[in-house]
Amino acid sequence: MKLPAATTHLLRGKSRRLKWCTACVVTIVIIAIIAIPLAVILPRNSAAAKGLKSKILVPLYIYPEPGAWDPLYEVVTSHPNRHFIVILNPNSGPGSSSLPADQYVNQIQKLNDFPNVQSVGYVRTGYATRNISDVLGDVAVYSGWDTSANATMGSGLAVHGIFFDEAPSEYSTANAEYMLTINHAVKNSIGILGDKTIIQNPGTIPDPRLVDSTTDYSVVFEGSYKEFNERQSLLTALPLDRKRYSFVIHSIPENLSTADIKKFAAKASRKSDLLSLIDLDANFYERFSPNWSSYVDIIPS
């Protein structure tokens, strides 16, 4: 039966309105599906863009002549909420005497007075080829600083951990036993105070079998800004929690903007809880950059 023209026109109008409403509902649903994940994802991306709070590693291979450590004291004082781990290196290690030179004693005691500073002693392992008795002897000297200093010149000289430089990166049973033995010596040393932090520095990504639970930090990168970017894919794929890793990055180009450096530092912080960023391209552990304080500000807090 043929419907009247007016009725046909009315039905067509209802059909168009129904299709339009259906399209609106579908559009709203699609927008909701897209928008809700974005609302969840974007804040996380925004937080990640700022980086993750990191400690600051300071290789202090500078002889403490009058005023030489002042840049460190100034930055530590002006950043009371930042945590600094300072590597002490009086003589490619602690030296052969029971105590370092008087200049070191005075300055280390001053440094240890800061509650946001943790001092660790430098010990070279020669990639697990140095005589292990000599390595253990260096650990014992650092451990003895606490009791020797207390007996002669008051407290405040003790270190709170050891930085094992030139750690091996290639696995062998001998290398693993060597590093485990010297780690245990640190953890069992009465005169090494606090958490007895152990930092191993292979300078590259080591075989995972060498990174055992007694190692607090592994320096899985020590090199230039350019080299870091070349190895970034490997570094971002590191298997352990970022709190187990440290990066030491030097030779950061002068022509980078502050915004670019902040992005770089944020990216590095996502895989490293302990960072050292240096713009110097030579003698970078033996002097402070004029931009030292600025780089402390750039490391995510």
pLDDT band at 28 (very low <50, low <70, confident <90, very high): very low
Spatial distance between the Cα atoms of 12 and 131, rounded to a whole number of angstroms? 94
In this structure, of 106-115, 138-147, 153-162, 229-238, the range with the lowest mean pLDDT score is 153-162
Spatial distance between the Cα atoms of 271 and 233, rounded to a whole number of angstroms? 11
Q: Both 204 and 64 in a single domain?
A: yes
How much of the chain, in percent, has pLDDT values that exceed 90?
78
Q: Both 11 and 143 in a single domain?
A: no
pLDDT of residue 147: 74
Q: Both 3 and 140 in a single domain?
A: no
Query: How do residues 109-149 score in pLDDT, each as one tens digit?
Result: 999 999 999 999 999 999 999 999 999 999 999 999 987 55
Judge contact between 145 and 99, C-beta under 8 A: yes
pLDDT of residue 26: 41
pLDDT of residue 156: 82
User: First-to-last CA distance in the chain?
Assistant: 79
Q: Both 59 and 141 in a single domain?
A: yes
pLDDT of residue 31: 41
Above 90 in pLDDT, residue 16? no
Report the pLDDT averaged over residues 169-194: 97
Judge contact between 168 and 179, C-beta under 8 A: yes
Q: Both 260 and 178 in a single domain?
A: yes
Q: Both 44 and 58 in a single domain?
A: no
Q: Both 62 and 35 in a single domain?
A: no
Q: Both 85 and 28 in a single domain?
A: no
Q: Both 234 and 108 in a single domain?
A: yes
pLDDT of residue 155: 59
Residues 68, 167, 145, 186, CA torsion sign: positive
- What is the overall mean pLDDT for the chain? 86
pLDDT band at 25 (very low <50, low <70, confident <90, very high): very low
Q: Both 36 and 86 in a single domain?
A: no
Q: Both 188 and 124 in a single domain?
A: yes
pLDDT of residue 35: 43
- CA 94 to chain centroid: 24
Above 90 in pLDDT, residue 18? no
Q: What is the CATH number of the domain that holds 264?
A: 3.20.20.70
Q: How many CB atoms lie within 10 A of CB 12?
A: 10
Spatial distance between the Cα atoms of 201 and 213, rounded to a whole number of angstroms? 15
Domain count for the chain, please give it.
2
Report the pLDDT averaged over residues 59-83: 97
Q: Which domain holds residue 44?
A: 1-49
pLDDT of residue 50: 81
How much of the chain, in percent, has pLDDT values that exceed 70?
81
Q: Both 156 and 244 in a single domain?
A: yes
CA angle 209, 212, 217 (to 5 degrees): 115
Query: Can you count the helices (H) and strands (E) in the chain?
Result: 9, 8
Which tokens hold the place of 295?
């780089």
Above 90 in pLDDT, residue 242? yes
In this structure, of 12-21, 70-79, 86-95, 216-225, the range with the lowest mean pLDDT score is 12-21
Whole-prediction pTM: 0.83
pLDDT of residue 49: 65
